Amino acid sequence: MARGRLRVYLGAAPGVGTTHSMLDEGRRRHDRGTDVVIAALGNSDRAGLARLADLLERIGTGPDLDVDAVVQRKPAVALVDDLAHVSADGRVHWEQVERLLEEGIDVVTTVCIADVESSRELVAQLLDEAPVTMVPDEFLRGADQIELVDMTPEALRRRLAHGHLHPPERVDVRIANRYRPGVIGGLRRLALIWMTERVTDDLERERHLPAASGDERWPTHERIVVALSGEGGERLVRRAALLAGRVGGELVGLHVVRRGRSPGPDLELQRSLLAALGGS
């Protein structure tokens, strides 16, 4: 059985249009004769999203993903909103999406940069709160297609002010804080940096393919080396991953075990985090 294909719409913050883009893509495929279902949809009470959603078959009515029901239905394409969403049974969408892909089902999904693992520390600084559920960078890098859905901070704040994102009576201090110009600008910058890294990865893969003609020259990429202490240091690893993405470089972790000494207690955790961020 061929593995399903994964298409991701990446945005800086909720409200930039990732869910709309996902539903619009599903409608286009449906109109071309493809069997498409909505497997999970977070916020469909907005008029524009509701109109698009009504055109497609739905499995379930809420934001949770019923993997068994989707596998039994066996559509060609499943739309799954919000990769970082945690279902009522405690499972995270990106893990459930992996099973759909293994079953040969194509998935179109969405994610915000604030929910991407390599952005954890910077997002915590921007929002003054630590993210809870994160999507591993390595999972996203395995996507067949990733498209950035962008919107200026001013336009996004207008959408919030006009009640297009939340009813005015539900906009509390926490929500208002997430849509401050500095916060949205910072998240937007993170999204652009992450997408730049994705483009660099694609170019690197192309570099190793045989040239169609002539002797094509490719630039040399930087290599970012992060020293792993084996104790704590996860913030340093994520910072190195962001730097590697910014310059289009390779991320390498290095730990030296001194004679007669044991590795630090967190070395395996650091190694796993490095791998999840695309390093070696």
- Write out the chain's pLDDT in tens, 280 residues: 899 999 999 999 999 999 999 999 999 999 999 999 999 998 766 767 888 898 899 998 789 999 999 999 999 999 999 999 998 888 999 999 999 999 999 999 999 999 999 888 888 888 888 778 899 999 999 999 999 999 988 999 898 888 888 887 888 888 888 889 899 999 999 998 888 877 766 656 665 555 544 445 455 567 888 888 777 778 888 888 888 877 778 899 888 877 777 777 888 888 888 888 888 8
Res 211: pLDDT: 52
Place of tokens 């194509």: 106
Res 213: pLDDT: 47
Q: How far apart are the first and last CA of the chain?
A: 30
Contact 249, 222 (CB under 8 A): yes
Cβ count near 203 (within 10 Å)? 13
CB-count burial class (<10 Å; 0-12, 13-18, 19+) for 3: middle
Q: CA-to-CA distance for 129 and 127, rounded, in angstroms?
A: 5
Q: What is the pTM of this model?
A: 0.75
Res 223: pLDDT: 84
Torsional sign, CA 147, 3, 53, 94: negative
The dihedral over CA atoms of 127, 131, 134, 136, expressed in degrees to the nearest 10, equals 60
| Structural domains of the chain ordered from first start | 6-203 (3.40.50.300), 223-276 (no CATH)
